[in-house]
Amino acid sequence: MPVATSCRVTGILAALLSLAGLSSLPASTPAVLNAVDSDPQKLGWMAGFPPPPEKLIMQPQSNYFSFPKLRWTVCHIRELLPTTQVSRGLGAPMPLSYNLDPAIDQVTFLPLGSDQAQSWEEALFTNYTDGMLVLHRGEVVYERYLGALDERGKHAAMSMTKSLTGLLAEILVVEGQLDDEALVSSIVPELTDSAFGNATVRQVMDMTTALDYSEDYSDPEADIWIYSAAASPLPKPADYQGPDGYFEYLQTVQSNGTHGEHFHYMTINTDALGWIVSRVSGKSVADLLSERIWQYMGAEQDAYMTVDAKGTPFAGGGLSAGLRDLGRIGLLMLNGGRVGDQQLFPQAVVDRIQAGGSREAFKAAGYSTLPGGSYRSMWWIFHNANGAYAARGVYGQTIYIDPTAEMVIVRFASFPFAQNAQIDPTSLPAYQAVADYLMDKAP
């Protein structure tokens, strides 16, 4: 696809890249507004009837995923992109129990590589937090909203979406509906001639596929631009000749190496898994997520997912949801698939995820802030003393589950740069410090 054609949909591509967790790291980190000064309400984004031109955030012309506009955009995705509903059904929500502990704000920790202590509350602003929820032994002990988010709002989950797609796949595996050792081509014949065709479902689920796929943002001919143009839900330019939609693009991906040897974090694996899940279940990822989980976990709000021009949900990064509802996802995992007296999926699903994937395959990827970690069914496994694991997304999105501390942390954020490696040094030790505090406090 010629770069001139690609540039016509720059705004939408930037958004899709960000949702997928594919934004590139700047060569040098420029100075940016701090969390207080970049607050969307303080800056007046989209305020007024109508907002003044300089305060409009629109697409495709306004680069709405650039910072600081990002801080408004992550709470308003469906006002900029077409979406499909993840219904909570018609039943009453299941209330969460509260036992708030304001002392958590004063819990201190040492950031990685630093000898200067920081408090939990200070870290909220360091990491441009939009929403923070901490649950301990099933109770909410901390809840806070900042930026453009309030308790009624929904926030982009970014690549935490991958973990929910992976969870759906693992449920199907444990229940015997999906063979994770089967070749992808035996389930989705349309992928036979692609790199995915001779990969196993498990290799896709754990991102150990070997794909000839470039995410070099400095190269206008890189595969990432073709992928993003295909995924755009906007009408294609008249001279566009590339694939249309996620599924068509996946059929064009070719191999580079041997499947199963190394972990390679590539969002297109999750889109392939979404196709597999949909083919096996006969439902879209959004509908299956609703019917297996969202309708039965006591959710307060519907969630929603972005879609391509053909209505295919973005399995790799398209979810937006409420803070407390993602807390319910964390509790569901912590409790082995159980909500109250209902077993929504087998305990074995969580056990298999928490056990993790190949540490050797993961080590080769060079994640310096996650030493000894692994990746399993689209979840990040820390293999630390507490057995913690997480769903993670760019700009600081996290569902952090600590079974030893009986703790779930959910964070929404709009950090100026996409890479979590910049946020982990003041996040991972903070999570551990709160876990230690809660365990020391508990009877």
In whole angstroms, give the CA distance from residue 215 to residue 229: 14
Catalytic annotation, pick one of 23, 159, 281, 284:
159
In whole angstroms, give the CA distance from residue 390 to residue 160: 9
Question: Residue length, the chain?
Answer: 443
3-state SS, residue 435 = helix
228 is catalytic: no
170 contacts: CB under 8 Å, gap ≥ 6 = 205, 349, 352, 353, 377
Q: Nearest CA to 131 among 422, 396, 391, 328?
A: 396
**Residue listed under structure tokens 């099933």:** 138
In whole angstroms, give the CA distance from residue 183 to residue 423: 37
In whole angstroms, give the CA distance from residue 275 to residue 279: 6
Largest pairwise CA distance in the chain? 67
75, with CB counted inside 10 A (0-12, 13-18, 19+), is buried
Report yes or no: 55 and 47 within 8 Å, Cβ to Cβ: yes
User: Residue 108: CA atoms inside 13 Å, Cβ hemisphere, count?
Assistant: 6
End-to-end CA distance of the chain: 62
In whole angstroms, give the CA distance from residue 316 to residue 313: 9
Report yes or no: 330 and 389 within 8 Å, Cβ to Cβ: no
DSSP secondary structure string for all residues of 214-268: ---TT-TTSHHHHHHHHH--SPPPTT--S--SHHHHHTT-EE-S-TTSS----HH
Cα 71 to chain centroid distance, Å, stands at 16
| Residues recognised as catalytic | 159
